[in-house]
Structure 1
Amino acid sequence: MRSSTGPTHPGISVVIPNYNGADLLAANLPGLFEALAFSGADHEVIISDDASTDGSVAFLKENYPGIVLLTSPVNTGFSPNINRGIARASKELTFLMNTDIRLEKDFFVPLFDYFSDPEVFGVMGRIVGMNDDKTQDSAKYPKWNGLQVDGSANYLPSSGTRAPSLFLSGAEALVETEKLKSLGGFDEAFAPFYGEDLDLGLRAWRGGWTCWYEHSAVCRHKTSSTISRHNKPGAIRAIAARNKFRLHYIHLDLPSLLLWIPVVLLNLIVKSLTLKFYYPRGLALFLRDIGAAAASRRKVPDKYTLRQVYRKITRTLSADRIR
């Protein structure tokens, strides 16, 4: 609903993927609706449930009958689940939000101005602790040595409140709906989890769009891992390794890819000798489904190479705030 007294902003489709998060929905949906009302933007809330068994669907039907509730008979993983919600999004902007995120009331207010620039794909805010203001997640600094893609480093703007980001956190990102759909949403080959948000950010940058971080847009997160609640540690590490192989295969140019292969083989020997079996397991999983990665590689926008993206982001940045 649009406030009659608030500013006119683009409408927002909120898309929340859920799997057995009834307790998190109960805790964090009130903050979402408060932030939406404060923004004055027309909105809809779409929750895509991935075959939950904890009463999530019943909770939502009873307490939030006005939302769009999508259900699946089988568990499909993060990317397919959130993509079902993205497909239903009808507003100009789509806000991607995890169930374990709690928004501050004014979260959306500083984000709207970004979309006056036609090159902007999306913007993320700052994630802090649920009970403190310690930064957990911020702008993503691109580390690049020609063969290794690494988006794990956070950094803060050296001045002002905005900074370019290699990718947008899948936990909280406001993006332009048309651009998101044109990229096909998240790559479902990364299912069930890990790496899909980095891949989406790289595809946006390589297509000529930009991703941003806004320090004054604050949301809160209780330090925990939804993934570890439902998966064994060994399986998590193997899937993470598989998706890292997949990410490199999709985005490295051909000369870099040819140089990357012997690096992988050398690492395979070292990891196996040191009993780090998640690495060979991840490689086997990747090779088993390499056809899906090849299909993804063919669909990646090619306006910019990965090397050009890294240069574009870093040429205006200072590395003194990296953590």
Structure 2
Amino acid sequence: MTEKAPKVSVIILNWNTKHFLEKFLPPLLQTDYPNFEVIVADNGSTDGSADLIKEKFKNVKLVEFDKNYGFAGGYNRSFKFANGEYIVLLNSDVEVTPNWLNPIVNFMEENPDVFACQPKILSFYERNKFEYAGACGGFIDVFGYPFCRGRIFDFCEEDKGQYDDTIQVFWATGACLVMRKKFLNEIGLLDEDFFAHMEEIDLCWRANLNGYKIFCLPQSVVYHVGGGTLPKTNTWKTFLNHRNSLIMLEKNLDTLKLFTIIPIRLALDLVTAITYILKADLKNFIAVMKAISTFLLLQPKWIYKRIENRKKLKKNKITGKLIYKKSIVFDYFILGKKKFSDLKF
């Protein structure tokens, strides 16, 4: 990169993760890229995170919010403070490598129709394995279940370089998401009704429908702790994942598919709820049932969002090629296909 390298705004949305900021801000500030700023947007933390930034990281721009607006709301409010041509959403529990940013910005500069990119995401604790949140690029199946190159459901593959090719993907992870700011302003920001979880997949779906592309650049590598704010066992996360997935389908599916896919997806979610009951996991059962009922009871709201969403979008045939036409649930749980390389698009 030359001195004319485009400016990049790296935004960390923080909520009570002071310990991660202490650990991961120093390597981030050592990033080998000539023109970037780091912004910590604090979502109403009570653990002294803001004081830490003021005292120890004076070259970091601190933005303080009065309460926790969630992932979507917090990031949306932070964008106006970003001066870069590119905006990076970076989780506070991500450790970057020195050259993580250069390959992505170079690629996006050379490919003006690319909306977003992500690096290869490896586990912070098992550094030879892909990490759950994003792995090596995301896809969804026909019923809206997300999965990744290197991670299907809870099975994370060992990284042996098998996914080191740069490829177009359906979605890129919000754990480390590099976006072109002008396209973000065009297609609209994150959907704040999601609060957290699946909002980046919804955003990427809209980008696809607008004809923009999303890529994974495995030449760039970061390490993710995962579950820094909400652990996988949290029932609030269960609720958000199920509800938001249904909203996302209603907002983005083609009209012809809308009335066939959503009933099947609701049936699959009911099966999930029954599975929790059989495991004597009442809390997660309630979370799934609450997600289904919230989705159904607020149909007027989701229908309105769909209408407004579809008005702004132009249909693009490329989207369909990036959606797995089979059921990843069936392939994984019935056929035992645990690896992305086992799937046939």
Within-5 A mapping of 1:51-200? 51-115=44-108, 116-131=110-125, 132-136=127-131, 137-145=134-142, 148-155=143-150, 161-191=165-195, 193-200=196-203
Which residue does the alignment assign to 1:286? 295
Kindly indicate whether residue 229 of structure 2 is the aligned counterpart of residue 219 of structure 1.
Answer: no
Q: Deviations over 1:161-181 (max 9, x none)?
A: 311111111011211111112
Distance in structure 2 (CA, Å) of the matches to 1:223 and 1:75:
19
Q: Which moved more, 1:194-203 or 1:129-138?
A: 129-138
CA shift for structure 1 position 51: 0.7
Letter in 2 for 1:259: T
1:228 to 231, 244, 247: 231
Q: Deviations over 1:5-26 (max 9, x none)?
A: 9553211111111000111001
Identical-pair percentage: 22
Letter in 2 for 1:248: L
The 8 Å contact of residues 93 and 228 in structure 2, kept in 1 or not, is answered as no
The 8 Å contact of residues 11 and 43 in structure 1, kept in 2 or not, is answered as yes
SS of structure 2 residue aligned to 1:228: coil
Distance in structure 1 (CA, Å) of the matches to 2:107 and 2:12:
22
Unaligned runs of 5+ in 2: 151-158, 278-284, 326-339
Q: Find runs of 4+ consecutive structure 1 residues off by over 6 angstroms.
A: 156-159
Which residue does the alignment assign to 1:9? 5
The 8 Å contact of residues 165 and 313 in structure 1, kept in 2 or not, is answered as no
Q: Which moved more, 1:252-261 or 1:154-163?
A: 154-163
Letter in 1 for 2:136: A
The 8 Å contact of residues 250 and 294 in structure 1, kept in 2 or not, is answered as yes
Kindly indicate whether residue 238 of structure 2 is the aligned counterpart of residue 244 of structure 1.
Answer: no
Which residue does the alignment assign to 2:38? 45
How has the CA–CA distance of structure 1 residues 288 and 312 changed in structure 2, closer, same or farther, with 3 Å as cutoff?
A: closer
Q: Deviations over 1:174-226 (max 9, x none)?
A: 111111122222111111x1111111111111111000101110111225442
CA shift for structure 1 position 280: 2.1
Q: Which moved more, 1:100-109 or 1:180-189?
A: 180-189
Letter in 1 for 2:144: V
CA shift for structure 1 position 270: 4.7
CA shift for structure 1 position 119: 0.6
Q: Deviations over 1:257-314 (max 9, x none)?
A: 1123432554466556553333321012223444443343222443225x74031678
Q: Which moved more, 1:296-305 or 1:117-126?
A: 296-305
Q: Which moved more, 1:267-276 or 1:247-256?
A: 267-276
Distance in structure 1 (CA, Å) of the matches to 2:273 and 2:223:
39
Which residue does the alignment assign to 1:304? 315
What TM-score, normalized by structure 2, do the two folds share? 0.80
The 8 Å contact of residues 170 and 214 in structure 2, kept in 1 or not, is answered as yes
How has the CA–CA distance of structure 1 residues 267 and 120 changed in structure 2, closer, same or farther, with 3 Å as cutoff?
A: closer
How has the CA–CA distance of structure 1 residues 97 and 223 changed in structure 2, closer, same or farther, with 3 Å as cutoff?
A: closer
Distance in structure 1 (CA, Å) of the matches to 2:168 and 2:179:
14
Unaligned runs of 5+ in 1: none
The 8 Å contact of residues 189 and 293 in structure 1, kept in 2 or not, is answered as no
How has the CA–CA distance of structure 1 residues 31 and 283 changed in structure 2, closer, same or farther, with 3 Å as cutoff?
A: same
Which residue does the alignment assign to 2:328? none
How has the CA–CA distance of structure 1 residues 60 and 281 changed in structure 2, closer, same or farther, with 3 Å as cutoff?
A: same
Kindly indicate whether residue 317 of structure 2 is the aligned counterpart of residue 320 of structure 1.
Answer: no
The 8 Å contact of residues 154 and 322 in structure 1, kept in 2 or not, is answered as no
Letter in 2 for 1:105: P
The 8 Å contact of residues 183 and 203 in structure 1, kept in 2 or not, is answered as yes
